[in-house]
A and B are shown apart, each in its own frame.
Chain A
């Protein structure tokens, strides 16, 4: 996989470049930014994150388990304390809630990892330390024949540096 990497100083320039690239049907664009900015969402119009699904499933699973385990415990060894019913569900709500939160959040994190493809072992192509520092970057996947076109496009939108990578 090869393409062109462009580094920008200013955010609006980056956004313009993105819009332009998409006009030119460069489909695979990766934007690097030190901090999440809404400008890029406007420019890229990405789909909604799927993390919420993991959250929902995890939460429900946790809740169910959190009710089931104490009820099972009580029934497994039915001895009376304080004259209360052997399986008294009301207080078990607490355990249910706690486990919902626990498993819900863990699965959320898992979902994020899965969707964001981390942890990753290599930086692969098209990363530059400055992107965590202050600059923005655009990595465009481009066949060799269109590489120069992309490079020019980035430059004219004010990329401070453009380089081909493979």
Chain B
């Protein structure tokens, strides 16, 4: 992950990178301040209500569009056979992908002991849960007969009929439901001690009661902590392969089909990398405004963002490699269908989408090689937006052009989404942000207990940092930047 970069003398970089593993919060004096600063973020404000209102409005637009589509039939959407899957599946994969960064940050980086995750993982984990909740809607939403969606769920029923376990869509059902359950559990378990903190701080009796219930009577006893940390470790150990498997399964929806442009063995790793990439993008999109608005710059430090930006750069290059290998495979396969399809993808009717994808996902992120830009939050934010766009279009390029240019030339076609598609796409963002906004004002946006872990505890005897990694500068050397 992050490496130790020693700046040359006279380098204009404000301060050297620190090894992420030894993350520090010099601006935090003690545990009490952690509580103060984080609890300070709770409590609704006018701007928050405005944002929530906007999100709910978008949600309502999407919901009404869906209602209309159910009444009228899928024809109301822009489907244009042979393009039988469109915006809905694209958006489904998009949201599942978003989810993955959360689990990656909370679980995988936890196992890797990557310290920079500590301050951002709660937000990303919440993002995961809500993103998967959003994604979960789309498979139902794109059905021709959504009211029959339960046919896909394996449960003993009087019809004595079961779903087809050979179908990738049924694998999806298992994967997505598992992912939703596990990530939600993981999220909640991590929250328990923090809710306990809120409980102990809360004065409003009603809220106190609710927090008390949610905290399950957590007492911060070392006994609880012991089992807690163990369980947390195992959950992380489960979530790690899970996050890899889920998007592999999603990629099977395509890879298992014959369709040129889908039928590729590179898909699982390709999708996982893409998912993490898009997720990191979303993390930036969320965290950068968040730390501004909530004045958490001294906790979510520029160093954390810097380290995350490196991860982003890395995944971007993995994705780029996947794109290239797709073309290379098509080129060397000698398979006419593949070759014509990929030609059509970049130079044919879908060139515009393909190039949006390539520029947003492979070219722009390269700017993150510059440490200056990595530590420039405005730039990071802009990049993160383009990444989100680019990754949505990646899925578009995978789904639509492949279908529109298949084996049968007589059935080649195009695709024009209608207002219904767009409204439902908008609605999905409304749904996601509604949950997210509700979250940030009710629950701590940061893992209080874990932040405390990296705050040096009070000591009677003078501190010795012998067990820390020496990073070559005194703690006192706190720049203005860290405070703000």
Assembled-state Cα–Cα distance A116/B222 (Å): 10
Residues of A within 8 A of B8 (CB): none
Candidates B161, B186, B459; contact of A12 at CB < 8 Å: B459
Question: Which of A66, A98, A111 gathers most chain B CB within 10 Å?
Answer: A98
Q: Does B216 touch A at the CB level, under 8 Å? A: yes
Q: A134–B197 contact, CB under 8 A?
A: no
Q: B222–A132 contact, CB under 8 A?
A: no
Residues of B within 8 A of A46 (CB): 222-223, 226
Candidates A41, A97, A132; contact of B220 at CB < 8 Å: A132
Q: Does B266 touch A at the CB level, under 8 Å? A: no
Q: B234–A51 contact, CB under 8 A?
A: yes
Given A94-B175, A105-B182, A109-B185: A116 in contact with B238 (beta carbons within 8 A): no
Binary contact readout B232-254 vs A (1 if CB under 8 angstroms, 0 otherwise)? 00110011011001000100100
Which residue of B has the minimal Cβ distance to A13?
Answer: B460
List residues 172-227 of chain B with CB under 8 A from any CB of chain A. Answer: 174-175, 177-178, 181-182, 185-186, 189, 192-193, 196-197, 199-201, 216-227
Given A10-B457, A12-B459, A101-B238: A33 in contact with B227 (beta carbons within 8 A): no
Q: Does B49 touch A at the CB level, under 8 Å? A: no
Q: B222–A31 contact, CB under 8 A?
A: yes
Assembled-state Cα–Cα distance A83/B9 (Å): 69
Q: B460–A10 contact, CB under 8 A?
A: yes
Residues of B within 8 A of A32 (CB): 219-222
Q: Does B458 touch A at the CB level, under 8 Å? A: yes
Given A11-B459, A46-B226, A133-B32: A33 in contact with B220 (beta carbons within 8 A): yes
Q: A49–B230 contact, CB under 8 A?
A: yes
Residues of A within 8 A of B200 (CB): 129-130, 132-133
Question: Which of A13, A33, A92, A113 gathers most chain B CB within 10 Å?
Answer: A33
Q: B181–A121 contact, CB under 8 A?
A: no
Given A11-B459, A34-B452: A102 in contact with B193 (beta carbons within 8 A): no
Taking the nearest CB of chain B, how far is it from the CB of A137, in angstroms?
8
Candidates B154, B170, B216, B239; contact of A119 at CB < 8 Å: B216
Residues of B within 8 A of A130 (CB): 200
Taking the nearest CB of chain B, how far is it from the CB of A140, in angstroms?
13
Binds B, one of A19-27, A69-77, A141-149: A69-77
Q: A133–B166 contact, CB under 8 A?
A: no
Residues of A within 8 A of B189 (CB): 109, 112
Q: A105–B230 contact, CB under 8 A?
A: no
Assembled-state Cα–Cα distance A109/B187 (Å): 12
Q: Does B162 touch A at the CB level, under 8 Å? A: yes
Assembled-state Cα–Cα distance A77/B157 (Å): 14
List residues 12-49 of chain A with CB under 8 A from any CB of chain B. Answer: 12-13, 30-37, 40-41, 44, 46, 49
Candidates A66, A102, A120; contact of B181 at CB < 8 Å: A102
Residues of B within 8 A of A35 (CB): 31, 449-450, 452-453
Binary contact readout A42-73 vs B (1 if CB under 8 angstroms, 0 otherwise)? 00101001011001000100000010011001
Residues of B within 8 A of A51 (CB): 227, 230-231, 234
Candidates B30, B164, B174, B229; contact of A36 at CB < 8 Å: B229
Candidates B196, B238, B252, B458; contact of A108 at CB < 8 Å: B238
Residues of A within 8 A of B294 (CB): none
Candidates A108, A120, A131, A134; contact of B216 at CB < 8 Å: A120
Q: B245–A94 contact, CB under 8 A?
A: yes
Taking the nearest CB of chain A, how far is it from the CB of B246, in angstroms?
8
Residues of B within 8 A of A91 (CB): 165-166, 171
Q: Does A156 touch B at the CB level, under 8 Å? A: no
Taking the nearest CB of chain B, how far is it from the CB of A131, in angstroms?
5
Assembled-state Cα–Cα distance A69/B252 (Å): 20
Question: Which of A49, A69, A92, A130 gathers most chain B CB within 10 Å?
Answer: A49
Given A51-B234, A120-B216: A76 in contact with B185 (beta carbons within 8 A): no
Taking the nearest CB of chain A, how far is it from the CB of B352, in angstroms?
35
Given A35-B449, A105-B182, A133-B201: A116 in contact with B249 (beta carbons within 8 A): no
Given A12-B461, A94-B245, A99-B174: A127 in contact with B219 (beta carbons within 8 A): yes
Which residue of A has the minimal Cβ distance to B450?
Answer: A35
Residues of A within 8 A of B197 (CB): 34, 132-133
Assembled-state Cα–Cα distance A12/B457 (Å): 9
Assembled-state Cα–Cα distance A30/B222 (Å): 7
Q: B178–A102 contact, CB under 8 A?
A: yes
Residues of A within 8 A of B154 (CB): 69, 73
Question: Which of A35, A94, A102, A109 gathers most chain B CB within 10 Å?
Answer: A35
Q: Which residues of A contact B (CB under 8 A)?
A: 9-13, 30-37, 40-41, 44, 46, 49, 51-52, 55, 59, 66, 69-70, 73-74, 76-77, 81-82, 84, 88, 91-92, 94-95, 97-99, 101-102, 104-106, 108-109, 111-113, 115-123, 127, 129-134, 158
Q: Would you list the 3 A-B pairs with minimal beta carbon distance, nearest first?
A: A70-B165, A129-B200, A119-B216
Please list 30 pairs of residues, one from A and one from B, whose beta carbons are closer than 8 Å in the complex, sorted by A's number: A12-B461, A32-B219, A32-B220, A33-B220, A33-B222, A34-B449, A36-B229, A41-B222, A46-B222, A46-B226, A52-B230, A69-B165, A70-B165, A77-B160, A81-B164, A88-B166, A91-B171, A97-B245, A98-B175, A98-B249, A105-B235, A112-B231, A116-B227, A119-B216, A123-B217, A130-B200, A131-B219, A132-B193, A132-B196, A133-B32
Given contacts A82-B166, A129-B200, 9 further A-B contacts (CB under 8 A): A33-B225, A41-B222, A59-B238, A115-B227, A118-B192, A118-B224, A120-B216, A122-B217, A158-B460
